[in-house]
Amino acid sequence: MANFAWMAQVASLSPAALTVQAQTLSPNDNGRLLWDLFFPRVNVNSVRLSEINTVDDRPAADRREWNARGRLIPVLTPAQRKLEMVPIESYDKIDELEMQYLMEGTFGANQAIIEQQIGVRLPARTDRLAMAAYRRLELDAMSAWSTGTIIQRNPQNAAQTFTVSFGFDAARLATASPTWAAASNAYDAFITWFEAGIEAVGPGEGAMMRLATYKEILADSPDLPGGVKMTRSQLTDRIQQDLGSPFQFVINENSLDVFTDGGTAVTRTKVWPAEQVAFIPAGKQVGSTAFAPVRRAMELDAQVPEASIDVNGVTVYHDADNGGRELEIDAQLNAMPVPQESKVWVVDAGV
């Protein structure tokens, strides 16, 4: 870092300061990401997790005759799952000429606005890197929930993928047969599926799906007197009355820019997979997002304890190359969404 003495002098550009700034960002991008609603953050002390899951433990005792023994309740060994995560990281590189221009501040007219928009200053760039890490978390959370898998891609060669499965019971990630489009009534199929979800998960308060699925349910919903179709609000109201409990549809048409390959081109991609419908349990919590410590954050925390760095949070680090002519900035997050199997009830509706 010797060649970047100016960065240490400019307090706002030190890795610790950039990390603190990145950690003040809204992890859900001011409500545009949903991961922390369904998978709230939980700090863990390692990237290796051990999860204990008690699924369907409902033993019932029996009556006994006088002077006799009752029912033995056998010990249940809970299902266990050992998980190991790998980091989420985004980086940016700035070379000498660009740094020269940045320090000169010679963007001409509307300089301040242009700088703000393209994030020419380091803190703005690190904000972008940190939000990119949270967006990966969003994609992984929705993938883990809707498919029971997380796909790791090689950042330099996106064709190389590794799919890790949580190993959920197949009944919890079912495929509708017939599809709700082919079924005689998508509304009835939905209600039947949701009621089965209450049996499998417990009380529910809604369902997440894409708009096309929702429209199929709405189209097949019972007609009002006189053959008038229901409005969206009437459909929700009707379902609440049918179920006898609060209910809301969460239509997830959010999209993010996923890199097409190892390069710079992106594809705007829907966060929630088409045709998947997920049961939202009461309280909305489907699982948690494990935030493990980041080694470099621990290092920063040791250097500047007064900064109160969140060692489990997003961490920004920069490194100089080429005799100080190149700067690489990283934003790292050691986090992984972990759905609770007993709260997962998903169907591929086929529409």
Partner 1 sequence: MPMSIVKTAGGIGYGNPFIGGVNHPAQITVDVSGLTTDEVDSFGYLKPGVPLTKAGILVGASPAFVYGVTFEAQKIVPDNPTNTTLGAVTVDPIITVNTIGHINRDVAEDNLGRAYTANEIAGFDAAGSKIALSAT
Which residues lie near partner 1 (CB under 8 A)?
93, 95-98, 118, 156-160, 261-266, 319, 321-322, 325-326, 328
> CB of 103: closest distance to partner 1 in angstroms?
15
> CB of 251: closest distance to partner 1 in angstroms?
30
> CB of 153: closest distance to partner 1 in angstroms?
12
What proportions of the chain, in percent to the nearest 5, are helix, strand and coil? 35, 25, 35
Query: Which is nearest to 186 in space by CA: 159, 212, 148, 225?
Result: 212
> CB of 117: closest distance to partner 1 in angstroms?
9
Q: Which is nearer to partner 1, 54 or 100 (CB)?
A: 100
Is residue 83 a contact partner of residue 49, using CB atoms and an 8 Å limit?
Answer: yes
For residue 60, the SS3 value is coil
Q: Which is nearer to partner 1, 155 or 178 (CB)?
A: 155
Q: Which is nearer to partner 1, 93 or 229 (CB)?
A: 93
Query: Which is nearest to 91 in space by CA: 319, 337, 324?
Result: 319
Structure tokens at 288: 């948690």
Q: Where are the alpha helices (DSSP H) in the chain?
A: 5-9, 15-23, 35-38, 96-104, 111-118, 122-147, 186-201, 211-219, 232-243, 295-303
Q: Which is nearer to partner 1, 96 or 237 (CB)?
A: 96
> CB of 263: closest distance to partner 1 in angstroms?
3
Structure tokens at 199: 């049996």
Structure tokens at 144: 């883990």
Beta bridge pairs of residue 346: 173, 278
- Cα 273 from Cα 253, distance rounded (Å): 9
> CB of 218: closest distance to partner 1 in angstroms?
38
Helix axes 232-243, 211-219, angle to 10 degrees: 80
- DSSP letter for each residue of 184-232: S-HHHHHHHHHHHHHHHH--EEEEEE-HHHHHHHHHTSPPBTTTBPPPH
> CB of 220: closest distance to partner 1 in angstroms?
43
At 62, give phi and psi (nearest 5°).
-120, 160
Q: Which is nearer to partner 1, 84 or 96 (CB)?
A: 96
> CB of 296: closest distance to partner 1 in angstroms?
16
Q: Which is nearer to partner 1, 45 or 160 (CB)?
A: 160
Q: Give buried/exposed letters for 290-302 (b at 16+ CB in 10 A, else e).
A: bbbbbebbeebbe
Q: Which is nearer to partner 1, 97 or 103 (CB)?
A: 97
